[in-house]
Amino acid sequence: MSQLIMMLVMFLLCSMLFAEPKERPRVFITDSQSWEISGGFGGGGDAIAGSAKGGARPQTAEIIKTFGERCPNSIVTNQKEKADYAVLLDHEGGKNLVLRDNKFAVFNKDGDAIKSGSTRSLGNAVKDACAAMSVDWEARGAKTTQAPTETEAKKN
């Protein structure tokens, strides 16, 4: 009896080791190059002065880090052409708590927007984007593994 249990355990371990790994979706992440501009102008008497400063505040590295933490079932890639999904995430800091300052949009490989929204935290924006990709990934997997319908079979 103990030999049978030992063989069963060995079989399960071997099947886990040699099982084909589940394919994970590849994600290309980009931001919309948020801009921040500030400045002022003033004068008095014979003097007038002004200044302005600004520029892009890219947050892509922070977004990728958060994506790796909150969406571990995906692979982040920097090659857009190999990606199954593209995520545009606009992470803007410095706003008050009432305003939603993390906007996101998820596009599938066909270029169709499958989800968009805004959240108060970057982590929740990533979580929502990840959930949308998971649902779409499963639906696409089901479509490719289903047997063709009778109508589809007649077309071929």
Per-residue confidence at 145, pLDDT binned at 50, 70, 90? very low
118 contacts 98 by C-beta, under 8 angstroms: no
- Per-residue pLDDT tens for 86-104? 999 887 655 555 555 788 9
Whether domain 22-37+53-146 has CATH 3.40.50: the reply is no
- Per-residue pLDDT tens for 24-62? 899 999 876 654 555 555 556 666 655 555 544 557 788
pLDDT of residue 10: 64
Ramachandran angles phi, psi of 87, nearest 5°: -120, 120
32 contacts 87 by C-beta, under 8 angstroms: no
- Residue spans of the domains in the chain: they are 22-37+53-146
Per-residue confidence at 20, pLDDT binned at 50, 70, 90? very low
Greater confidence (49 vs 124) lies with 124
149 token code pair: 């319908």
pLDDT of residue 83: 93
Per-residue confidence at 64, pLDDT binned at 50, 70, 90? confident
pLDDT of residue 56: 47
Cα distance between residue 43 and residue 46, in whole Å: 8
Averaged pLDDT, 3-8: 70
pLDDT of residue 84: 94
Q: Angle 139-145-147 (CA atoms, 0-180°, nearest 5)? A: 115
Cα distance between residue 85 and residue 82, in whole Å: 9
